[in-house]
Structure 1
Amino acid sequence: MDIRAILMGLAFAAMWSSAFTSARVIVEFAPPLTALALRFLVSGIIGVLIALALGQNARLTRQQWIGVVVFGVCQNALYLGLNFVAMQTIEASLAAIVASTMPLLVALVGWLLLGQRMRPLGVAGLVAGVIGVALIMGARISGGVDIYGLVLCMIGVVSLTVATLAVLGAASGGNVLMIVGLQMLVGSAVLWVPALAWESFDITWNWQLIVAFIYTTIVPGLMATWVWFMLVGRIGAVKASTFHFLNPFLGVATAAALLGEKIGLLDVAGVVIIAGGILAVQLSKQPVRP
């Protein structure tokens, strides 16, 4: 892995982890699904226009189109839609912790359902991840966390797992920025249906909402997704996923620093264990050197 890939991975982890904090601000002042549908509409249009300006086109392969649709529906509409709704009642740090378990779920699905071999280090990582999650969930549930919001986050991370398994097909073959823009437009189109059906256009306009919306649209929305696709195309999905071990730390730290969310000792212990489990799982997938 070269220095450029390392910098791309660090940038992706930081941008992805910050999305929970900015989303928590947005849902304080705007209906979640409407705000998210609008965010993806703006991000998608910007992405497509930039792609066209760079000479990219929408003549994608069948595999790429499948990836665009699956990624747009599973990550953008289901995963983020459920998380935006959930963060009306739960903290950004908890949403970030639940989402950060995605690499563990990907490894578990590959092991149990796809017939992928798992080394002892990977099995140990999965066990550690379960222990870390149990520590955090036990502490949060006893502290009175909203169960409905927590369940939505859990359903969302399953959708994110499906989206991640589809990324490799969408990342190969070029036109990366066009693919990013198109999958955001897919997510927007899906989200407008429940947004218009269930939500009222009740928005409290202030500078916090405007800054959070612009930041979420450009940085975690457009830039982080583009960097992730480029990183997967550069070093492969297995190596790229190693950077996910940073997400529990960065997600919790960002929420604590910017939103003042309190982090308990069990949260810290759980985050460290989950991060170690993610790293172990990803390292176990690396090819053995002769």
Structure 2
Amino acid sequence: MPAVFVLIWATGFIVARYGMPHAPPFTFLLLRYGLSIACFGVWIALAQVRWPQTRQQWLHLAVTGMLMHGGYLGGVWAAVKAGMGSGLSALIVGIQPVLTAIWLSAFGSAEHRVSGRQWLGLGLGFAGLVLVVWRKLTEGSPGDTVNAINLAWAVGALLCITAGTLYQKRWVAPCDVRSANTVQLMAAALVTAPLAWLEPESMHWNLQSAGAMAWSVLGLTLGGSSLLFLLIQRGAAASVASLMYLVPPATALMAWLLFGEPITPVTVAGIALTALGVALVVRPGAATSGKA
């Protein structure tokens, strides 16, 4: 399940490359949420899935939805649309495993704090991430810029995915992933709708934007987001967060296969270092399971 999640989540950057030139970020995401809710609704009705049973569970799911869907996705897409390069945006949100580990070490219970081996793995993983995105960081593209606006969006996305992961692990009780994801998406749609309404640009439909939307709904939301929910529900927070280190290397391999983007020896070294770091974090015995 972790390997499948990484592969699906990595396609998000490929989707952004296809869809971003033809759609404002929040309008695209609002449509994505609406279509995903419709698909989940049909699935829930056919399978007769139970909805969350308490008001508190609905509230906790709504909070995680606003953070992990609305805040994280909205922040990343808005940062890239505002001119930030994909290398820098990947590096900023890639700090998530380190922030998660710092929080657990400072506020987690003794049995769930990050071990020395895990800290070594987190450090190696981040070093590998830097190597993977190094070419994009140093070369960039003619339109790449960094300003207060896109930096704020990227940092906001980082804080949202970190807080959402920790919040779900602490407060969301085990429940059916289909109904839980639907509640999360409804909450994300509520916070995204005003931002989409303020965007002056409209959605331009063509083969690229339609394909990006279709995969965003079927692959990323119904598949990737559901797997992330299950991974957080079943695994230790630091171990799940460390999987995000593997997303940029997987994206680099996909970009090489699909777009012919070069993979340098530095990239290969970064992929190997990232894989080693994640292995140290998630290997059996590195952490105990349970609520963070």
Same fold flag (TM > 0.5) = yes
Aligned partner letter, 2:166: L
1:156 paired with 2:157, answer yes
Aligned partner letter, 1:222: L
The residue number in structure 1 matching 2:169 is: 168
Aligned pairs (5 A) from 1:1-290 = 8-62=1-55, 64-88=57-81, 89-92=83-86, 95-96=89-90, 98-114=92-108, 116-133=112-129, 135=131, 140-144=136-140, 145-148=144-147, 149=150, 152-168=153-169, 172-197=173-198, 199-233=199-233, 243-244=243-244, 246-283=246-283, 285-287=286-288
Deviation of 1:158 after TM superposition, in Å, equals 2.2
Calculate the aligned-residue CA RMSD, in Å.
Answer: 3.0
Task: Call closer, same or farther: CA 1:140–1:232 in 2, change over 3 Å.
Answer: closer
Task: Call closer, same or farther: CA 1:277–1:67 in 2, change over 3 Å.
Answer: farther
In the alignment, structure 2 segments of 5+ residues that lack a partner are: none
Q: Using the alignment, how far apart are the partners of 1:64 and 1:108 within structure 2?
A: 27
Deviation of 1:262 after TM superposition, in Å, equals 4.3
Q: Using the alignment, how far apart are the partners of 1:269 and 1:63 within structure 2?
A: 46
Q: Using the alignment, how far apart are the partners of 2:273 and 2:99 within structure 1?
A: 15
Deviation of 1:136 after TM superposition, in Å, equals 5.9
Identity, % of aligned pairs? 24
SS class of match (1:166): helix
Q: Using the alignment, how far apart are the partners of 2:106 and 2:237 within structure 1?
A: 19
Give the TM-score normalised by the residue count of structure 2. Answer: 0.81
Q: Using the alignment, how far apart are the partners of 1:57 and 1:164 within structure 2?
A: 23
Q: Using the alignment, how far apart are the partners of 2:122 and 2:188 within structure 1?
A: 31
Deviation of 1:42 after TM superposition, in Å, equals 1.1
Q: Using the alignment, how far apart are the partners of 2:200 and 2:34 within structure 1?
A: 18
Aligned partner letter, 2:21: E
In the alignment, structure 1 segments of 5+ residues that lack a partner are: 1-7
Task: Call closer, same or farther: CA 1:95–1:252 in 2, change over 3 Å.
Answer: farther
The residue number in structure 2 matching 1:3 is: none
Aligned partner letter, 1:160: I
Q: Is the 8 A contact 2:243 2:278 kept in 1?
A: no
Aligned partner letter, 1:143: E
Deviation of 1:167 after TM superposition, in Å, equals 2.7
